[in-house]
Amino acid sequence: MTEQWDRSLPEAARARMAGIRETHTWGSALSTQEFAAIEGAGFDPVGQVLGTAVYHIGYAGRYGCSGSWSYFGGTEVSSSSWAPFSELVRAMYTARWTALGRAVAECQALGGDGIVSVKLKVGHFPAGGLEVTALGTAVRARSSRVHPAKPFTSHVTGQEFGKLVHAGWIPTGLVLGISIATRHDDWRTRGQLSFMAGNQEVDGYTQLINQARHDARVQLQSDAKRQGGDGIVVDEMDLRIRERECPSYENQRDHIAEVVILGTSIARFDRSPGHAGPKPLTIMTLNRER
């Protein structure tokens, strides 16, 4: 009988998983220190896992200008169904979740309970489109009491994973917050940028950045809630600003803020009463110069 994970993997990935299971020889992307930390936390590496997806972006969302209709301008965020770039953000989420889902399927094939130290990378594919890659190391808990219904994903390193487990926390999943906000350079903004304006805040741009970051954090928290997390440890927050010619008015400009936040949702797990906790774990560097 074909397992569900087997149907979701490309043929080359299925062959690689079968080879690992037959030879009982696992590979990993872990350093020596990470390996020691994971072992000390009661987990064993079971193999390196990889998920990839190449997406073509053909439609980004509604074509138009945010705020060009308003005397005071306005900012629109991509979480709104009719906002510019709403479809682009949905495609960005889908591409990332597709790659992560394939990495999870490989983890399931190896009997793993989760993936640590996930490197989620997005780049341009030479033939066109975006290539998303999720690379990490699948791990399995030695205790039979710790087996989640679905393998978790996390960006945390082996050392960070060990510290979380020792402190009573376990990752529940990699979480994302993505938002693209657009704002038209209205008359007030243009006036604040003029040579004669002096030193003052450009409040239109402040609003653009604040709303983009706020919306991305809201999406991040919603994702963590769906993953069953109690909190989030953040890996990176990327902010990019660009401008374009206004599609509604000639010789006027719009500014676009794109925010991507990547983190791992974590949850507390029950610990038996009177348990003194794990013994201190000492990790020594192999670099003689340090």
Q: What is the DSSP string of 143-159?
A: STT---SS-EE----HH
The amino acid at 142? R
In the prediction, which pLDDT does 64 show? Answer: 62
DSSP state of 74: -
In the prediction, which pLDDT does 77 show? Answer: 76
Is domain 13-268 in CATH 3.55.50.30, yes or no?
no
User: What is the residue-level pLDDT of the chain in tens, covering all 290 positions?
Assistant: 345 555 567 666 666 677 666 666 677 788 999 999 999 999 999 989 999 999 887 766 556 665 544 444 567 777 666 667 788 888 889 999 999 999 999 998 888 999 999 999 988 888 778 899 999 999 999 876 666 778 999 999 999 999 999 999 999 999 999 999 888 888 788 888 888 878 888 888 999 999 999 999 999 999 999 999 999 999 989 999 998 888 777 788 888 999 999 999 999 875 444 444 455 444 444 444 44
Give the orientation angle of helix 32-40 with respect to helix 158-166, to 10 degrees.
20
Question: What's the number of CA atoms in the CB half-sphere (13 Å) around residue 194?
Answer: 9
The answer to whether the CB of 182 falls within 8 A of the CB of 76 is yes
Give the orientation angle of helix 11-23 with respect to helix 86-109, to 10 degrees.
30
Residue 220 zone, left/alpha/beta (φ > 0; ψ -120 to 50; rest): alpha
Query: Strand (E) positions, the chain?
Result: 43-55, 75-77, 114-124, 130-141, 152-153, 169-184, 231-245, 253-268
Please give the helix or strand (H or E) that residue 191 lies within, else none. helix 187-192
- Provide the 3-class DSSP secondary structure of residue 115: strand
The amino acid at 28? S
Give me the helices (H) in 24-172, please: 32-40, 86-109, 158-166
Specify the residue for token string 């591409």. Answer: 95
Domain boundaries, the chain: 13-268
Burial class (CB in 10 A: 0-12, 13-18, 19+), 214: middle
Distance CA 162, CA 37 (A): 5
pTM of the model: 0.79
282: nearest Cα among 140, 166, 169: 166
In the prediction, which pLDDT does 88 show? Answer: 85
